[in-house]
């Protein structure tokens, strides 16, 4: 995001060596990875990145079988030994998610990494002019699933599993920067709070809310290009940047960042160098009232 403040001096827009899925230290061999929204965009790129990291046990969740099958075919064309399971489900529907969780558990056993990439963005609108059903659909998809996850998937993970919640920078960007996005931005902020509760309530789970960058997806297209917030000449971030960043988060190198809100654009080596600073300040990189931290 052009002009966005950064926690690290280096602000990446493309993948780089430290988060490469081919690094032996980031190996996902022997892990089972589940991804929602896996039919396209960030979810599909993430599935391929974990396959590149050696994961041979993947579950793809999404609403449309044809797009999930396309992601599966892409993975198998390069990694034919991988086992890729498709689960057609709607993340805002409890019964649908329950069935998907059961089917994936039966096929792949317990999971190690869960990347929640599915999201919904309603039409750009003022609060007073919003279609009620469309406005609330953002919360149905972006927030409600998190509680479904704790009921149906949390009990099926291995110890010290990793949960990555793909969030949005709009959760903490001032409203005047992205007007008419009240439902999307507010639902993403609510999701971050729920991830905070997951982090506290389930200490055995590694929780990471992440802004994936400014990506050329239908959601970003709507808010940034069509909404006029994308500066003329600005470049999208590479879709492989967050995908590779998620592979890094699933490794032991990210342990000190558990529960923090992160941007995929931030340089991981610089964050590692700030480990002591982060460990001393438990409010750093958490959503709170600016200038009024709680001890």
Per-residue pLDDT at 218 = 65
Confirm whether 255 is domain-assigned.
yes
What pTM was computed for the model?
Answer: 0.92
Residue with tokens 């044809």: 66
Longest dimension (CA), the chain: 53
Q: How many domains does the chain have?
A: 1
Whether residue 231 has pLDDT greater than 80: no
Q: What is the pLDDT of residue 262?
A: 96
User: What does DSSP assign to residue 226?
Assistant: I
Q: What is the phi/psi pair of residue 57, to 5°?
A: -140, 100
Q: Which two tokens stand for residue 79?
A: 């990694």
- For residue 17, being part of any structural domain is answered with no
160-185 tens-digit pLDDT: 999 999 998 877 887 787 888 889 99
Of 14, 36, 62, give the one whose Cα is nearest residue 215.
14
Quick one: pLDDT at residue 219? 63
Strand partners, 85: 59
Q: Model confidence at 224, in pLDDT bands (50, 70, 90)?
A: low
In the chain, alpha helices (H): 41-52, 65-78, 94-108, 132-142, 144-152, 182-201, 218-220, 240-249, 268-273, 275-280
Rounded distance between C-alpha atoms, residue 123 and residue 185, angstroms = 12
Helix, strand, or coil (residue 98): helix
| 170 domain-assigned | yes
Q: Specify the DSSP class assigned to residue 142.
A: H
CATH number of the domain enclosing 175: 3.40.50.720
Contact 171, 184 (CB under 8 A): no
Which residues are bridge partners to 262 per DSSP? 210
Residues 124-161: tens digit of each pLDDT: 889 898 899 999 999 999 999 999 999 999 999 999 99
- What would the pLDDT profile of 4-22 be if each residue is shown by its tens digit? 779 999 999 999 999 999 9
Ramachandran region of residue 277, left (φ > 0), alpha (ψ -120 to 50) or beta? alpha
pLDDT digits (tens, 9 = 90+) for 247-269: 999 999 999 999 999 999 999 99
Give which of 109, 204, 84, 187 is closest to 150, Cα–Cα: 204
In a domain, 108, yes or no: yes
The answer to the question of residue 2 being in a domain is no
Judge whether 99 lies within some domain: yes
Structural tokens at position 7: 């926690």
Look at residue 14 and tell me if it is in a domain: no
CB contact at 8 A, 236 and 216: yes
Kindly state the tokens that stand for 276: 């002591």
CA-nearest of 211, 94, 107, 111 to 152 is 94
Does residue 285 lie in a domain region? no
Q: Which two tokens mark 57?
A: 């046990």
Query: Domain containing 229: what range?
Result: 32-280
Are 237 and 15 in contact by the 8 Å Cβ rule? The answer is no
């Amino acid at each position: 995001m052009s002009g966005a403040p950064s926690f690290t001096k280096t602000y990446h827009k493309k993948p780089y060596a430290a988060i490469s899925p081919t690094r032996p230290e980031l190996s996902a061999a022997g892990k089972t990875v589940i991804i929602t929204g896996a039919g396209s965009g960030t979810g599909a790129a993430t599935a391929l990145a974990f396959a590149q990291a050696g994961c041979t046990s993947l579950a793809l969740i999404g609403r449309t079988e044809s797009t999930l099958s396309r992601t599966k075919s892409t993975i198998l064309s390069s990694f034919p030994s991988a086992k890729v399971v498709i689960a057609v489900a709607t993340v805002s529907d409890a019964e649908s998610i329950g069935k998907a969780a059961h089917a994936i558990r039966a096929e792949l056993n317990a999971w190690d990494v869960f990347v929640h990439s599915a999201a919904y963005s309603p039409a750009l609108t003022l609060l007073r002019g919003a279609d009620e059903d469309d406005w609330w659909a953002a919360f149905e998809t972006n927030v409600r699933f998190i509680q479904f996850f704790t009921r149906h998937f949390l009990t099926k993970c291995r110890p010290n599993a990793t949960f990555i919640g793909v969030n949005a920078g709009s959760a903490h960007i001032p409203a005047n920067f992205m007007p008419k996005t009240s439902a999307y931005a507010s639902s993403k902020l609510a999701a971050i709070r729920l991830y905070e509760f997951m982090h506290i309530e389930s200490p055995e789970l590694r929780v990471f809310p992440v802004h994936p960058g400014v990506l050329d997806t239908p959601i970003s297209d709507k808010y940034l290009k069509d909404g006029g917030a994308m500066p003329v000449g600005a470049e999208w971030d590479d879709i492989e940047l967050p995908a590779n960043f998620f592979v890094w988060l699933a490794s032991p190198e990210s342990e000190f960042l558990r529960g923090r809100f992160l941007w995929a654009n931030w340089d991981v080596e610089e964050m590692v160098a700030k480990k002591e600073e982060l460990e001393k300040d438990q409010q750093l990189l958490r959503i709170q009232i600016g200038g009024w931290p709680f001890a």
